[in-house]
Homo-oligomer: A and B are copies of this chain.
């Protein structure tokens, strides 16, 4: 990381923590340069970066100011009351009809689950793919079956090590994206009819996996800042024979919530007491805006009860379908399930990513990606402030690329979805994130695409449609 980037991160941290409030003037270049012992050009570069990140704004002749919408000009969405009952899951029909309808590439993709592929180094990856495949020993076809390409597994283990988590390479299994990993994890520890504790709201793919495996869900509320409500979870574990807990500990989809470290530790401890495995879906881990990468719950796991799933789909290589799982005491069982399900992940894709991680400049790419996403979040928050009703509640995640909005109660999210789609705008309506189809006036918006006039205009249109419900 370069000096100006480090300095920009320091300032960003001050803004995020509220030391520098919205609208406040930030130190002049000369003052900052003197007090921090850096050159004026470093400060300039840092401020320019912060501007691109959407955190500050230059005003002619008067210096730089913290953007007025950052942070906390919005009230956060409320967590719903817990249900404390188990539900059979049957949402696929609704989810698929919605996903089908937003496939049109000309639609403004606020409803998409992916960031824009334009943010990824696809050309550089293609080079890695070409060179890795050219030099691929034909014998890998036989020797590289599951658990997967050893170079790739070593690189992944190295990244965890740098982040302070010692994951033995032997524990790592490469999968066809995180979705397959999550399927295998659930299958390894449940039988049809079993109960699984999930988040409310939960990523709809989680609901679909439960549905496919004929499992029942118990919904645990997600707090916008704390993540899964551990008190409710503790009560649920006392009351129900829960076979597994599925949880996104960082930048939860759709709310954007991240669990503080202490909560992650408490979660692991709680599950250790009950000897219930945790399926940790950590696919957004690399998309943090703060200075430090968030730790996974896996870091606090001493008994191999945490099955930790990751992926390159959201941070590097969408479409390559390369994910992984470090499954603790379930590792061998899951490797065998994988061999029975799809043998192994595509070998050229594995080799390409292994090569890229070694030579491609992943950390540089990630820094750029995080800045872009953070800036786009600021843009979308500003647009919400401009166009949406004042009562709108919004989450302000410190990573990822989703906002979770609680709209006024009169708004019917499913109707809103139809009306917006008729205007060429997709959104993800709240009910697809719950097996009980709650969150009827909530929506998830994706800010994973570069901000353009079209997106600005689409937000304005969306605001108008929302107001028409009032």
Asked if A342 and B342 make an inter-chain contact with CB atoms under 8 angstroms apart, the answer reads: yes
Asked if B209 and A340 make an inter-chain contact with CB atoms under 8 angstroms apart, the answer reads: yes
CB distance from A343 to the nearest CB of B (A): 5
Partner pick for A346 among B122, B139, B176, B336, CB 8 A cutoff? B176
Asked if A343 and B321 make an inter-chain contact with CB atoms under 8 angstroms apart, the answer reads: yes
Partner pick for A129 among B133, B205, B322, CB 8 A cutoff? B133
Q: How far is the CA of A177 from the CA of B345 in the complex (A)?
A: 9
**Hey, which chain B residues are within 8 Å of A92, CB to CB?**
336, 340
- A131-153 interface bits toward B, Cβ cutoff 8 Å, 1 = contact, 0 = none: 00110101111111000000000
**Hey, which chain B residues are within 8 Å of A7, CB to CB?**
none
- A88-127 interface bits toward B, Cβ cutoff 8 Å, 1 = contact, 0 = none: 0000100010010001010001001010011010110110
Partner pick for A122 among B136, B144, B209, CB 8 A cutoff? B136
Asked if A321 and B340 make an inter-chain contact with CB atoms under 8 angstroms apart, the answer reads: no
Given A105-B139, A138-B117, A180-B342, A348-B336 contact (CB < 8 Å): no
CB distance from A124 to the nearest CB of B (A): 11
Q: How far is the CA of A249 from the CA of B99 in the complex (A)?
A: 37
Partner pick for A112 among B103, B142, B346, CB 8 A cutoff? B142
**Hey, which chain B residues are within 8 Å of A130, CB to CB?**
126, 129-130, 133-134
Q: How far is the CA of A187 from the CA of B344 in the complex (A)?
A: 19
Chain B, residue nearest A126 (CB): B133
Asked if A320 and B341 make an inter-chain contact with CB atoms under 8 angstroms apart, the answer reads: no
CB distance from A35 to the nearest CB of B (A): 43
- Interface status of A211 (Cβ within 8 A of chain B): yes
Partner pick for A347 among B140, B211, B319, CB 8 A cutoff? B319
Given A129-B129, A345-B346, A205-B320 contact (CB < 8 Å): no
Q: How far is the CA of A205 from the CA of B338 in the complex (A)?
A: 12
CB distance from A54 to the nearest CB of B (A): 23
Residues of A participating in the B interface, judged by any CB pair closer than 8 Å: 92, 96, 99, 103, 105, 109, 112, 114, 117-118, 120, 122-123, 125-126, 129-130, 133-134, 136, 138-144, 175-177, 179-180, 183, 187, 192, 205, 208-209, 211-212, 318-322, 336-337, 339-349, 352
Q: Can you offer 16 A-B residue contacts whose CB atoms are under 8 A?
A: A105-B143, A114-B141, A117-B138, A117-B139, A117-B141, A125-B133, A126-B136, A140-B319, A142-B318, A176-B321, A176-B345, A205-B340, A212-B341, A321-B343, A345-B346, A348-B349
Other than the given A96-B339, A320-B348, 16 more pairs (CB < 8 A) read A99-B339, A105-B139, A122-B136, A122-B138, A126-B136, A129-B130, A130-B133, A175-B342, A183-B340, A192-B192, A319-B347, A321-B342, A342-B342, A348-B348, A348-B352, A349-B349
The 8 closest A-B pairs by CB, nearest first: A346-B346, A130-B130, A117-B138, A319-B347, A141-B319, A126-B133, A176-B342, A180-B342
